[in-house]
Amino acid sequence: MISVAALAAPLAATASERVHLANGFDMRCDHHAEAGSVVRIYMSRGESSFIEMKPTEITSYETVPDPPPAPGPALRPRSDAKLTPADLNLMLADAGEHHNVDADLLASIVEAESNGNAHAVSHAGARGLMQLMPGTAADLGVSDSFAPDQNVRGGSAYLDELLRRYHDNISLALAAYNAGPAAVDKYHGIPPYHETRAYVARVIHEFNRRVRDRQREAVRNREAARQLRQAKQSPAASGTLQASSSR
C-alpha cells in the first residue's frame, strides 16, 4: 500500500528519487516520467501506482541511493507472538471502542491488508496486520509494527483520524489509508489508481458482508430468546413445572 506519509517519508526500500516541490515539501518515489503536459511520479517500480503533477509544481529532482536493507531479524516472524482469531477479534473490538470505529470495518481492513498475518511485509515495506509504513508507525507511536496490539492500536488511530478528516466518508478514508490523503485531496475524491479503487471496493464489500452477518446473528438471537420466553410461558411448560414440584 502507499503510506499516509507519502509526501514526507520513504515509501519503499527501492525508492531512488526525491522530488522537491514548489510548495516547500518533498516526496520520495521510485522514478518519474513526463506524460504529455504532466509529470507522473511513480511510487513503486512498474507503471501501476503514480501521481500526476504539473511541471510547475516541481522544482527539482534528486537521486537518492537505495537505503541499506533492514536487519533480517526485525522482518522475520517472531516465534514468541502467536495470535489466535479470538485474540485478534478482541483487539479489534477494544480498538474500535476506544476510537469509536466499527470493529467490523477494522477487521475488513486487516483482511485486505494482511489477511490476518501479523508478520506480513509488503513490497513497499508496510508491516503487520494493518500494514503500517515505518514512518507512519513512528508518527503514531508504534515502536514495533509486528506486535499485533501496537499495530492494531496505531492503524485504528490513523483510520479514526482519516474518518474525522473526511467527515465519516468511509470510501475517502479508505482511499487515503491506501494512497495517502495527499492523493485524495489532489483529486478531490478517490484517486484514479487501479490499486486504490480495487482496495476501497474490496474493503467495503467485506465490511458490508460482516455487517449483514452480524445483523442476521442478532435476528437469530432475538428469535431464539422469543421462543424461549414462549416455551416458559406455555401451559404445557407450566404443567411440567407443577408436576415436577409435586414430586
Check: CB of residue 51 under 8 Å from CB of residue 33: no
Q: Which amino acid is at 115?
A: N
SS (H, E, C) the chain: CCCCCCCCCCCCCCCCEEEEECCCCEEEECEEEEECCEEEEECCCCCCCEEEECHHHEEEEEECCCCCCCCHHHHCCCCCCCCCHHHHHHHHHHHHHHHCCCHHHHHHHHHHHCCCCCCCECCCCCECCCCECHHHHHHCCCCCCCCHHHHHHHHHHHHHHHHHHCCCCHHHHHHHHHHCHHHHHHHCCCCCCHHHHHHHHHHHHHHHHHHHHHHHHHHHHHHHHHHHHHHHHCHHHHHHHHHHHHC
State the catalytic residue, choosing from 34, 52, 97, 113. 113
Please confirm, yes or no, whether 217 is among the known catalytic residues.
no
Residues recognised as catalytic: 113
